[in-house]
């Protein structure tokens, strides 16, 4: 059975992504949760991940670290985790990579905190620009593929998984969204797996 090493649910946006992809794909795996921000964190993670960071997937002799690399690996196992049409697949990979590498102001100014409610009265210009770009991505995907289903490309893909932490961020900080983006956020937040993640975050005491 595969093993997925993750960090504290309330804060570990990187861990949520492959965890959600595996849940949505119906893959069975053992979850290894390592509390973050403790003196023992680094050493515990290094037992599994050569990078010393979470998440890390262990599949027999195969070890994959980094959230996007894990999601791509999973898509090789479960083809529905990427769109079947080449143009849509290229877009899904592009926006997943953009989320992975970009939006530093959003990460710093709106860290994931599932348990919190922190209305954001006046984000900085840099945070506002990141929000606007994310919303533009979502609106484009929903306009092009909304007729196929409720997710960014109709059915659930790794693109949805990569933006899942932003769902919690926007809900935590009460970000106002246009209709298509709001519906996607509501769809994502209502997923049983997302509710399971939230329940786990609420149960944490750190």
Neighbours of 132 (CB within 10 A): 10
Which domains are seen in the chain, by residue range? 2-78 (3.40.30.10), 82-193 (1.20.1050.10)
**How many CA within 13 A on the CB side of residue 135?**
17
- Beta-bridged to residue 56, according to DSSP, are 5, 65
With a CB cutoff of 8 Å and minimum separation 6, the contacts of 90 are none
Residues 113 and 116: their CA atoms lie apart, in Å, by 6
Structure tokens that stand for 35 in this block? 């509390």
* pLDDT for residue 61: 97
Mean of per-residue pLDDT scores for the chain: 96
User: Contact, 16 vs 197, CB < 8 A?
Assistant: yes
Closest CA to 154 of 67, 75, 81, 90: 81
pLDDT at 206: 72
Confidence (pTM): 0.96
% of the chain residues with pLDDT over 90: 96
Which pLDDT band holds residue 137 (cuts at 50, 70, 90)? very high
Question: Which region among 31-40, 98-107, 193-202 has the lowest average model confidence (pLDDT)?
Answer: 31-40
Q: pLDDT digits over 30-88, tens only?
A: 999 999 988 999 999 999 999 999 999 999 999 999 999 999 999 999 999 999 999 99
């Amino acid at each position: 059975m595969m093993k997925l090493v993750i960090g504290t649910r309330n804060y570990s946006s990187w861990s949520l992504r492959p965890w959600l992809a595996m849940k949505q794909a119906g893959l069975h795996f053992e979850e290894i949760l390592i509390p973050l921000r403790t003196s023992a964190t680094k050493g515990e993670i290094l037992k599994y991940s050569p990078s010393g960071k979470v998440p890390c997937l262990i599949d027999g002799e195969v070890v994959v670290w980094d959230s996007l690399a894990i999601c791509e690996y999973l898509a090789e196992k479960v083809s529905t985790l990427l769109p079947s049409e080449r143009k849509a697949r290229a877009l899904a990979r592009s926006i997943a990579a953009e989320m992975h590498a970009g939006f530093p102001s959003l990460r710093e100014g709106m860290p994931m905190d599932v348990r919190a409610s922190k209305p954001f009265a006046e984000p900085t210009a840099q945070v506002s620009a990141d929000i606007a770009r994310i919303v533009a991505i979502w609106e484009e995907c929903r306009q092009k593929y909304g007729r196929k289903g409720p997710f960014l490309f109709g059915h659930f893909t790794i693109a949805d998984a990569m933006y899942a932490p932003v769902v919690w961020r926007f809900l935590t900080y009460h970000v106002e969204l246009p209709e298509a983006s709001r519906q996607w956020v509501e769809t994502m937040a209502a997923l049983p797996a997302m509710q399971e993640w939230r329940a786990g975050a609420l149960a944490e005491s750190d």
